[in-house]
């Protein structure tokens, strides 16, 4: 009976909803939020129950949140289902949409996100917050308490996160040009003007506009991107309020963060997102343009919402093209508008990689991918992180190591004494460092995979090019021999027609073109090194295949993940012990053992990272550097030979044209000699005339053969010209 009464006491209800007081989702100064159930359908909802303190507020303020939520209807704002009252106490209850995956704050407090959200998740947060805020502005509402804790999360049917703005207790209607005097908000996210009055209690008569929400959004976005607050005085914002105020009010115009690392030390101003941030350089650049313009204390200089929406939507409307730069061994995510030209994409690649527009050459899935500059970006092949474009440079660029922050220094040490609260905090930081170490390890391993993949593609394409050169050499040699043979026959015919008389000199064009044949011979001799280059490529191909097999057999990531799983279990125990008032003797001994085990596992992760990942990565970069140097020599020779072929093709064409002219002239002479009224030798006898007639018939047959050979040669030259064209 007593248990039933206790259970009944723990239950509360309204006419349509029921909840237990233990199912607390959140608590504030004027209300508590519980997970509740619909009495008829069993549907889970969130109920916000107002306490007695809330009724001390003016009635207008009490009703404001109800009115705000009734007015709003958007996928990125928590829905209001009903307003009811509890049975006996008649407390007001807001029945709202239940977001089962916590808040953005709970996501950021997960050790996995201690260095910020992944790029994909951050973009979802950006899209949801911008869309939700746009709906608020369309309805003339200022929120006044935007922070990660007031951005709820649920998982949609497609498995993607959906974020929703909530807690409109501080919200009110306010147009863009209106001001308000009352103060609300959470101090780490407060606009400097409000912070001065609300936290430092300094009297002032300033009025605040809608841009106070933009400051809070800026702090929230920085927190989501980096995992930490942008403005941190020594000891933390709550312990050092005066320095916190100094940081946020004295921030230089382009700075996006400020940190005081030592007591009474200088403030370090930060203008770029940290290297440990998980966002790509391509996204960072756009975000670093937005943050300083909304983290602006001067409300006159701060962007308005129209500009904010324009710039954030400009990011969200872009498509991502994944590019791995083979010369620099770095992955890039290039954000570009779908309707812009490929030229814009290539210029963006140039900014990120340093590879000039005209020197960029792309491969995709093993094949050369020609970029059409006038084409729109939306028409080029879609890429992913697993299947990016591989970028090559036509110049020999030096290799730049992938930039990352060594996570070794981020591993904290436990204090020797038992302090479950402090130990839990340190354990969380250790776990965060392991997650970051694992991420860096995966990135370095992926980098090696793309180095080998891109190198293999380059080898195969260069081998094909070498094979084509040898085919060109063979074709040109045959063509040259055939053309020389044809020219000799023409010379004999020419001498026969002219009876070797000195008054009929040799064709001057033909004599000049014979001298050009020497350059063609030089081209053919330059091809002799191609076989040597092919052998070098075969050796490199075998080496790359061997390295690819070694990468597949690498177990470093698996071993680090195994350690992480064991550390996560220990951390879960630490969180449970943190809730206890004190530990018994046996539990304290277990706690000490867990601290030792956690430390040993962290050391093991670091050892695997340094010896099994970093060392292999450095060795892979050295090999890659040598290969790229070898490739530069091979490609230089291949380009040189192809250049020779281009010139030789023109020489051969000129030579062929001269031969054609000689044939035309001979044909005319033979026709003239065969005419009935033509008598080259009027004094000759009948026998001589018969011999001349037979000779003319023979000349005609020979000319037919020569003409056929020339036609065949012309056809081969045309094909050779096509295969010598650049860009194929």
Active site residues: 145
- 551 Cβ contact partners less than 8 Å away, ≥ 6 residues apart: 445, 448, 449, 452
Q: In the structure encoding, which two tokens stand for residue 708, read together?
A: 């056929």
Strands, E assignment, 276-359: 318-325, 330-337
- Can you tell me the distance from the alpha carbon of 364 to that of 370, in angstroms, rounded to the nearest whole number? 10
Encoded tokens for 102: 């916590």
Residues in the chain: 728
In angstroms, rounded to a whole number, what is the distance separating the alpha carbons of residues 205 and 195? 13
Residue (of 122, 142, 303, 308) closest to 209 by Cα position: 142
Give Cα separations from 290 to 166, 293, 305 (angstroms). 24, 6, 12
Q: Is 232 helix (H, G, I), strand (E, B) or coil?
A: strand
Residue from 121, 99, 123, 97 nearest 108 by CA: 121
CB atoms within 10 A of CB 350: 15
> How many Å apart are CA 299 and CA 179, to the nearest integer?
11
> Which residues are bridge partners to 321 per DSSP?
334
The Cα-based distances of 718 to 469, 646, 657, 724, 728 in angstroms read 16, 12, 13, 10, 15
Which residues belong to the annotated binding site for ATP?
A: 48
For the chain, helix (H) and strand (E) counts, in that order, are 17, 18
End-to-end distance of the chain based on CA atoms, in angstroms?
Answer: 88
Using DSSP's 3-state secondary structure scheme, residue 499 falls into coil
Q: Binding site residues, as ranges?
A: 48
């Amino acid at each position: 009976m007593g248990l039933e009464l206790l259970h009944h006491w723990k239950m509360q209800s309204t006419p349509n909803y029921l909840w237990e007081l233990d199912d607390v989702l959140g608590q504030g100064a004027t209300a508590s939020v519980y997970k509740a159930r619909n009495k008829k359908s069993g549907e889970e909802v969130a109920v916000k129950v107002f306490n007695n303190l809330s009724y001390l507020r003016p009635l207008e303020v009490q009703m404001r949140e109800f009115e705000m939520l009734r007015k709003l209807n958007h996928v990125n704002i928590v829905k209001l289902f009903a307003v009811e009252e509890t049975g006996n106490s008649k407390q007001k209850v807001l029945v709202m949409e239940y977001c089962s995956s916590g808040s953005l704050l709970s996501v950021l407090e997960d050790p996995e996100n201690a260095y910020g959200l992944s790029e994909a998740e951050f973009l979802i947060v950006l899209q949801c917050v911008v869309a939700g805020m746009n709906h608020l502005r369309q309805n003339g509402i200022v929120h006044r308490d935007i922070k990660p804790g007031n951005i709820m999360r649920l998982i949609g049917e497609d498995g993607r996160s959906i974020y929703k703005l909530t807690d409109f207790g501080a919200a009110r209607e306010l147009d863009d040009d209106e001001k308000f005097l009352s103060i609300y908000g959470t101090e780490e996210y407060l606009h400097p003007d409000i912070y001065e009055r609300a936290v430092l209690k300094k009297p002032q008569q300033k009025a605040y506009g809608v841009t106070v929400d933009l400051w809070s959004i800026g702090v929230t976005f920085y927190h989501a991107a980096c995992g930490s607050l942008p403005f941190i005085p020594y000891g933390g914002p709550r312990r050092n309020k005066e320095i916190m105020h100094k940081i946020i009010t004295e921030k230089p115009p382009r700075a996006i963060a400020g940190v005081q690392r030592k007591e009474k030390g200088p403030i370090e101003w930060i203008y770029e997102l940290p290297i440990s941030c998980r966002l790509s350089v391509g996204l960072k650049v756009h975000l670093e343009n937005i943050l300083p313009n909304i983290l602006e204390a001067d409300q006159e200089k701060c962007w308005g919402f129209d500009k904010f929406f324009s710039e954030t939507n400009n990011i969200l409307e872009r498509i991502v093209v994944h590019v791995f730069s083979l010369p620099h061994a770095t992955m890039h995510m290039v954000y570009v508008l779908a309707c812009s030209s490929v030229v814009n994409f290539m210029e963006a690649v140039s900014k990120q990689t340093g590879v000039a527009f005209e020197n960029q050459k792309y491969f995709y899935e093993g094949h050369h991918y020609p970029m059409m500059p006038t084409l729109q970006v939306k028409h080029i092949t879609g890429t992913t992180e697993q299947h990016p474009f591989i970028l090559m440079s036509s110049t020999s660029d030096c290799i730049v190591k992938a930039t990352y922050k060594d996570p070794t220094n981020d591993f904290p040490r436990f204090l020797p004494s038992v302090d479950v609260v402090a130990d839990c905090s340190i354990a969380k930081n250790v776990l965060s460092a392991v997650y970051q170490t694992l991420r860096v390890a995966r990135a370095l391993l992926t980098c090696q995979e793309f180095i080998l993949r891109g190198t293999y593609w380059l080898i195969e394409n260069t081998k094909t090019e070498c094979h084509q050169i040898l085919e060109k050499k063979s074709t040109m040699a045959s063509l040259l021999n055939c053309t020389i043979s044809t020219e000799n026959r023409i010379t004999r015919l020419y001498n026969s027609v002219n009876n070797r008389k000195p008054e009929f000199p040799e064709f001057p064009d033909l004599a000049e073109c014979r001298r050009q044949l020497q350059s063609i011979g030089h081209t053919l001799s330059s091809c002799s090194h191609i076989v040597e280059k092919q052998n070098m490529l075969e050796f490199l191909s075998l080496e790359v295949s061997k390295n690819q097999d070694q990468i597949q057999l690498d177990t470093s990531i698996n071993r680090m993940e195994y350690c992480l799983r064991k550390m996560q279990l220990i951390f879960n125990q630490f969180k449970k012990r943190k809730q206890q008032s004190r530990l018994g003797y046996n539990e304290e001994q277990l706690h000490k053992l867990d601290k030792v085990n956690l430390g040993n596992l962290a050391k093991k992760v670091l050892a695997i990272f340094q010896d099994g990942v970093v060392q292999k990565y450095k060795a892979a970069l050295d090999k890659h550097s040598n290969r790229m140097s070898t490739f530069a020599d091979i490609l230089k020779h291949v380009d040189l030979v192809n250049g020779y072929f281009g010139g030789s093709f023109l020489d051969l064409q000129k030579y062929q044209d001269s031969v054609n002219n000689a044939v035309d002239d001979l044909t005319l002479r033979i026709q003239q000699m065969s005419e009935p009224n033509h008598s080259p030798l009027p004094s000759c006898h009948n026998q001589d005339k018969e011999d001349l007639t037979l000779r003319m018939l023979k000349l005609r047959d020979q000319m037919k053969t020569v003409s056929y050979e020339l036609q065949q040669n012309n056809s081969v030259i045309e094909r050779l010209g096509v295969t010598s064209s650049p860009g194929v």
